[in-house]
């Protein structure tokens, strides 16, 4: 798509060759000419010898910038630090944005961590240690501590000087935060505000207040929603006494949105789609508990069918259409689940309107079931020359679909009520439970209508 991308592969080959031939200067020139994202893409493809040379040819600052852009899982990236001389690793860590460094260091051995941080300036090391304590997937865990802060009694002129001074280190200079004593967050303004006002205007006359902010323990999904709704480029993070302790940038939020959507998808699919182990033994092992659990749950269908075994023995046509009913109900139930789980995740609706959703889904189930049931009754009746069987089958299909739809709404709603994230309800669970309800409904109906059917 992009011109500069066309020769990605050639460039990678060329850069690897320069490392192999130990051409330090030519390597630096070619490599540093790339965007850090491209540098990172090449870096993760290098072998150990090539990486060792790269650490020799590049400064910790250059490697730190590039490490900010690595997209591998942090548990894999942490291994690279182990390959570097300790002092060099410490310097790379110091040069990285704190949030990125912390993500990775969360996976370091405690002993390694101490040794790296020994080579990081005291203040930054303390900051990293502090951030390592924030719970995963909270604002604290994804925030960055490199922001621009000024005070309300400054003028636009002096504020611009602060911005210029911080421009090289801060992750964003486009939002400027106004703080008072002890770092209390007081106001915010944008670089745009600074540029469009006279140099002598006081910040206190210009700043926006109150500031929209998030607490350090806020869930990252909520933070993402706020940034998305308000079209912010960054959002300040405060401690419990309103002290400004960091900011969350929109690029970190994009990763969060991706992560959360992959989680929803994985939850519904009943399998972690992002981190499927390449090794089939490990993949099988990770799916086995769930598969066995559902198999055991599915035993209930066997119990029900065995219970009605005598009926089937008398008339084996009864069994021909059972798979169709279960399949159709299972499909309908997973559709309902998808709609309900999404609605609950987005939390746009209050419980009142969720009640409406449940009602609507059951109605929709009855209607789809009615139409499908009619078609089914005609097919089955015509095929088996038994329109009463067709009627029973159609009725069973209709009730099975409506029940499945009800299950698809009620299960995630019930879990949500008791505080369990509704996005972890896999379609397979609803399909399996609806298999059970479908066989019960079908054979129950058969038994009721039996005296007229034979």
| Segment 348 to 367, residues that bind its own copies, using CB under 8 A | 356, 359-361, 363-365, 367
* Contacting residue, 26, 32, 69, 445, with its own copies by CB under 8 A: 69
3-state SS, residue 248: strand
Q: Does 142 bind its own copies (CB under 8 A)?
A: no
Q: Alpha carbon of 339 to those of 163, 330, 349, 409: distances in Å? A: 47, 14, 13, 8
Q: Which range, of 19-27, 50-58, 115-123, 228-236, touches its own copies by CB under 8 A?
A: 228-236
Of 343, 335, 454, 441, residue with least CA distance to 393: 441
- Within 261-280, which residues bind its own copies (CB under 8 A)? 261-262, 264-266, 268-271, 273-274, 276, 278-280
Binding mask 16-35 for its own copies (x = CB under 8 A): -------------------x
Q: Does 42 bind its own copies (CB under 8 A)?
A: no
Of the pair 158, 317, the CB lying nearest its own copies is at 317
Of the pair 204, 317, the CB lying nearest its own copies is at 317
Q: Which range, of 21-29, 52-60, 130-138, 281-289, touches its own copies by CB under 8 A?
A: 281-289
Distance CA 428, CA 62 (A): 48
Distance CA 317, CA 232 (A): 63
Binding mask 429-448 for its own copies (x = CB under 8 A): --xx--x---x---------
For residue 202, report the phi and psi dihedrals to the nearest 5 degrees.
Answer: -80, 140
- Within 298-317, which residues bind its own copies (CB under 8 A)? 298-299, 301-302, 305-306, 309, 312-313, 316-317
Distance CA 137, CA 331 (A): 33
Distance CA 438, CA 259 (A): 36
Q: Which range, of 11-19, 24-32, 102-110, 225-233, touches its own copies by CB under 8 A?
A: 225-233
Binding mask 74-93 for its own copies (x = CB under 8 A): --------------------
Residues that bind its own copies (rule: CB under 8 A) add up to a total of 117
Q: Does 164 bind its own copies (CB under 8 A)?
A: yes
Q: Does 257 bind its own copies (CB under 8 A)?
A: yes
Q: Does 174 bind its own copies (CB under 8 A)?
A: yes
Spatial CB neighbours of 87, under 8 Å, sequence gap ≥ 6: 119
Of the pair 24, 69, the CB lying nearest its own copies is at 69
For residue 183, the 8-state DSSP code is G
Which DSSP string corresponds to 315-367? -GGGGTTHHHHHHHHHHHHHHHHHHHHHHHHHT-S-HHHHHHHHHHHHHHHHH
User: Computed over its alpha carbons, how large is the radius of gyration of the chain?
Assistant: 30
Distance CA 122, CA 128 (A): 10
For residue 184, report the phi and psi dihedrals to the nearest 5 degrees.
Answer: -65, 130
């Amino acid at each position: 798509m992009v011109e500069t991308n066309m020769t990605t592969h050639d460039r990678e080959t060329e850069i690897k060759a320069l490392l192999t031939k130990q051409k330090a200067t030519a390597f630096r020139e070619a490599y540093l000419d790339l965007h850090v994202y491209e540098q990172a893409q090449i870096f993760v493809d290098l072998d150990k010898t090539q990486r060792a040379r790269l650490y020799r040819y590049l400064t910790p600052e250059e490697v730190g910038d590039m490490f900010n852009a690595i997209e591998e899982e942090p548990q894999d990236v942490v291994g690279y630090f182990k390959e570097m001389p300790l002092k060099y690793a410490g310097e790379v860590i110091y040069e990285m944005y704190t949030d990125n460094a912390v993500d990775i260091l969360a996976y370091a051995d405690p002993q390694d961590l101490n040794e790296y941080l020994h080579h990081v300036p005291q203040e930054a090391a303390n900051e990293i240690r502090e951030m390592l304590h924030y719970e995963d997937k909270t604002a604290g865990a994804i925030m960055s501590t490199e922001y621009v802060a000024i005070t309300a009694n400054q003028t636009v002129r002096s504020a611009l000087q602060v911005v210029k001074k911080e421009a090289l280190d801060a992750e964003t200079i486009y939002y400027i935060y106004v703080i008072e004593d002890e770092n209390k967050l007081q106001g915010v303004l944008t670089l745009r505000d600074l540029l469009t006002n006279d140099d002598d205007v006081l910040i206190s006359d210009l700043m926006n207040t109150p500031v929209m902010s998030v607490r350090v323990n806020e869930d990252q999904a909520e933070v993402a929603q706020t940034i998305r709704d308000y079209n912010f480029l960054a959002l300040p993070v405060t401690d419990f006494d309103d002290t400004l302790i960091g900011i969350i940038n929109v690029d970190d939020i994009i990763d969060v949105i991706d992560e959360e959507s992959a989680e929803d998808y994985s939850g519904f699919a009943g399998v972690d789609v992002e981190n499927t182990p390449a090794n089939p033994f490990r993949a099988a092992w990770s799916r086995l508990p769930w598969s066995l659990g559902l198999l055991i749950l599915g035993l209930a269908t066997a119990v029900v069918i065995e219970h009605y075994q005598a009926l089937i023995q008398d008339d084996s046509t009864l069994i021909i259409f059972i798979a169709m009913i279960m399949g159709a109900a299972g499909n309908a139930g997973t559709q309902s689940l998808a709609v309900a789980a999404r609605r609950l995740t987005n939390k746009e609706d209050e419980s009142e309107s969720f009640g409406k959703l449940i009602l609507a889904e059951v109605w929709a189930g009855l209607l789809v079931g009615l139409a499908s049931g009619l078609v089914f009754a005609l097919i089955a009746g015509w095929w088996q020359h038994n329109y009463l069987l067709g009627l029973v089958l159609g009725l069973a299909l209709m009730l099975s679909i409506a029940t499945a739809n009800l299950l698809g709404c009620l299960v995630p709603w019930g879990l949500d009520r008791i505080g369990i994230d509704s996005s972890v309800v896999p379609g397979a669970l609803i399909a399996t439970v609806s298999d059970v309800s479908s066989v019960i409904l079908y054979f129950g109906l058969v038994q009721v209508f039996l005296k007229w059917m034979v």
